[in-house]
Amino acid sequence: MAIPSSAANAPAFRLNPALDRAAIAADLAKHRRVQISNVLAPECAERLAHCLEAETPWSFTWFDGEAACILDHQDMAKVSPEKWSQLQRDLFLLARDRFSYAYGFYPLQESVRLDRDRHLYLLSFFDFLQGPQMIGLIRDLLGDEAVVKADAQATRFGPGQYLTYHNDHVPKSHRRCAYVFNFTRRWRPDWGGYLQFFDDLGNGQTAYKPDFNKLNLFLVPQPHAVTFIPPFAGGYRYAISGWYRAKEPASS
């Protein structure tokens, strides 16, 4: 029987109470990044993964060199195979020398939620990200009481998709850390899609495999990318990601 994914039929989100916050905080302080296993209670992670896999109306987003572009879920079937191929060629050409990305996505911010999706279980996850459990966890791990809010998007990376090298630095954005909740059940190392970090010379450092019920946290700015997923990959990389931010200072 299919798992229902509406908010009315699904469990409230809960963190795993066994998380060792002191050890995680020490690891984050030492390496500026950390991966946390089994971060959500199992029943929450299972329901959310089902929603991402079977219920979410995925749109497509890419960067055209100047701004973010979005093709809404309801319009994707209207694009011909020829136009998809041309768009992919254009994006690959752009990604050769400049920042670029291309992946499936669903925005979680309340301001852009669609009324048609109001019962989607995924939407309640944004409330959880902004709520006392997660804000408290992030404050504890960063040792930073100034953290007050998050932004978020759900992402689905498939064959031919990627997020190229960048460092998340945006002036006056008040970003304290980036986060990636992973909900990929089965993944092979040669399918790409790793969260790859780099040193100042461009050498690869830590790379986190897409996995299930794991949270990646890292301080910003920090050079990283989501590595290219090749055409032979046999699945999708599901995640929910964004940044935790401090409150904007009052203008004088």
Its pTM stands at 0.93
Tell me the average pLDDT of the chain: 93
Q: What is the pLDDT averaged over residues 2-26?
A: 82
On the question of pLDDT at 251 being above 90, the answer is: no
Question: Which sign, positive or negative, has the C-alpha torsion 12, 18, 19, 22?
Answer: positive
Confidence of residue 1 (pLDDT cuts 50, 70, 90): very low
Instruction: Please report the pLDDT score of residue 110 as a whole number.
Output: 64
- Helix, strand, or coil (residue 22): helix
pLDDT, tens digit, for every residue of 17-76?
A: 999 999 999 999 999 999 999 999 999 999 999 999 999 999 999 999 999 999 999 999
pLDDT, tens digit, for every residue of 159-194?
A: 999 999 999 999 989 999 999 999 999 999 999 999
Instruction: Please report the pLDDT score of residue 245 as a whole number.
Output: 97
Instruction: Please report the pLDDT score of residue 109 as a whole number.
Output: 76
Higher pLDDT: 111 or 221? It is 221
Confidence of residue 113 (pLDDT cuts 50, 70, 90): low
Nearest-angstrom CA–CA distance, 44 and 248: 32
Read off the amino acid at residue 218.
F
Instruction: Please report the pLDDT score of residue 7 as a whole number.
Output: 57
Q: Which is nearest to 102 in space by CA: 54, 151, 64, 56? A: 64
Q: Provide the CATH topology of domain 7-246.
A: Double-stranded beta-helix (3.60.130)
Instruction: Please report the pLDDT score of residue 5 as a whole number.
Output: 47
Instruction: Please report the pLDDT score of residue 118 as a whole number.
Output: 82
Q: Among 23-32, 112-121, 206-215, whose mean pLDDT is lowest?
A: 112-121
Name the percent of the chain lying above pLDDT 70. Answer: 93
Structure tokens at 196: 């790859």
- Beta bridge partner(s), residue 183: 212
Per the CB < 8 A criterion, the answer to whether 168 and 243 are in contact is yes
Per the CB < 8 A criterion, the answer to whether 242 and 220 are in contact is no
- Helix, strand, or coil (residue 73): helix
On the question of pLDDT at 214 being above 50, the answer is: yes
| Domain spans of the chain, in order of start | 7-246
